[in-house]
């Protein structure tokens, strides 16, 4: 009796995936970048989770599974931006050099890709005090807090007079850099960037002379 040849099993057709966007390992990073870009372009009223998903090129479900509203997403994006800020290391740095390094870093932040988002942040916080209460308290705080601590240490060590108004000095430097950069016309940004180091050196020297800092 002749052995019958076994008929090979038919090949299985390829599995077809349903419609939808593929999952991305960098979903959070893409969402952070998108929310800051849209916030810079459209402000708070023009920002939405759906818009972020479309702008980032990721599925809406991925956005809604992670963040309950646009405030939470913006808050996380700002925290992520803060975590990547370069805070000057004050070890072996004079107070003047530290203040200059800090002011330059802030200026470069405002001149960077998210400068427009930061500029909208301040106006949005005024117009929406409830939604922005936590953001106002914590936004980009690491560098500001380190500067505040360094000024207080300078007072304790005698680098600055005992009656130095710490918050006034901080406001003078922070506010001047903010106004100098963000209130300029876009076409002037390259000129401001090129002259930033000279500007912050002069700014810090004026402030330190004004409060009678020890040379």
The 10s digit of each residue's pLDDT in 83-141 is 777 777 776 789 999 999 999 988 998 898 888 898 888 788 888 888 888 776 665 55
Model confidence at 19: pLDDT above 50: no
What pLDDT is recorded for position 205? 96
Confidence of residue 177 (pLDDT cuts 50, 70, 90): very high
How does the average pLDDT of the chain come out, rounded? Answer: 83
Residue numbers of the domain that contains 117: 87-210
SS3 for the chain is CCCCCCCCCCCCCCCCCCCCCCCCCCHHHHHHHHHHHHHHHHCCCCCCHHHHHHHHCCCHHHHHHHCCCHHHHHHHHHHHHHHCCCCCCCCCCCHHHHHHHHHHHHHHHHHCCCHHHHHHHHHHHHHCCCCCHHHHHHCCHHHHHHHHHHHHHHHHHCCCCCCCCHHHHHHHHHHHHHHHHHCCCHHHHHHHHHCHHHHHHHHHHHHHHHCCCCC
Percent of the chain whose predicted confidence (pLDDT) is above 70: 80
**15 falls within a domain:** no
Domain at 176, CATH number: 1.10.357.10
Between 114 and 182, the more confident residue is 114
Q: Structure pTM?
A: 0.75
Same domain, 102 and 173: yes
Q: Of 8-22, 57-71, 142-156, give the lowest mean pLDDT range.
A: 8-22
pLDDT at 184: 72
Evaluate whether residue 16 is within a structural domain.
no
Q: Which of 49, 81, 113 is the last residue of a domain?
A: 81
Residues 196, 141: one domain? Answer: yes
Number of domains forming the structure of the chain: 2
**Residue 186: its pLDDT value, please?**
66
Question: With 70 as the cut, is the pLDDT of residue 10 above it?
Answer: no
Do residue 93 and residue 184 come from a single domain? yes
For residue 60, the domain's CATH number is 1.10.10.60
User: Which of 54, 81, 108 finishes a domain?
Assistant: 81
Are 58 and 113 members of one domain? no
pLDDT-above-90 percentage for the chain: 44
Does the residue 19 lie in any domain? no
Return the pLDDT at 46: 93
Claim to verify: residue 137 and residue 54 sit in the same structural domain = no
Give yes or no for residue 148 having a pLDDT over 60: yes
Residue 44 in any domain: the answer is yes
Are residues 43 and 138 part of one domain? no
């Amino acid at each position: 009796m002749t052995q019958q040849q076994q008929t090979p099993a038919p090949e299985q057709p390829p599995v077809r995936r349903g419609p939808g966007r593929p999952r991305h390992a960098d979903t959070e990073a893409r969402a952070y970048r998108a929310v800051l870009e849209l916030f810079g372009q459209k402000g708070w009223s023009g920002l939405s989770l759906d818009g972020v998903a479309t702008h980032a090129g990721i599925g809406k479900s991925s956005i809604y599974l992670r963040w309950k509203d646009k405030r939470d997403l913006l808050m996380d994006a700002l925290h992520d931006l803060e975590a990547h800020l370069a805070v000057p290391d004050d070890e072996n740095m004079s107070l003047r050099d530290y203040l200059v390094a800090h002011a330059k870093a802030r200026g470069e932040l405002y001149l960077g890709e998210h400068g427009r988002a930061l500029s909208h942040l301040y106006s949005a916080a005024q117009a929406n005090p409830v939604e922005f209460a936590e953001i106002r308290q914590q936004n980009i705080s690491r560098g500001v807090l380190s500067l505040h601590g360094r000024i207080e240490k300078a007072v304790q060590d005698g680098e600055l007079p005992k009656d130095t108004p710490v918050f006034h000095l901080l406001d003078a430097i922070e506010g001047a850099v903010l106004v100098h950069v963000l209130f300029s016309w876009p076409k002037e940004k390259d000129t401001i960037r090129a002259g930033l180091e000279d500007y912050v050196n002069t700014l810090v020297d004026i402030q330190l002379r004004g409060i009678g800092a020890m040379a």
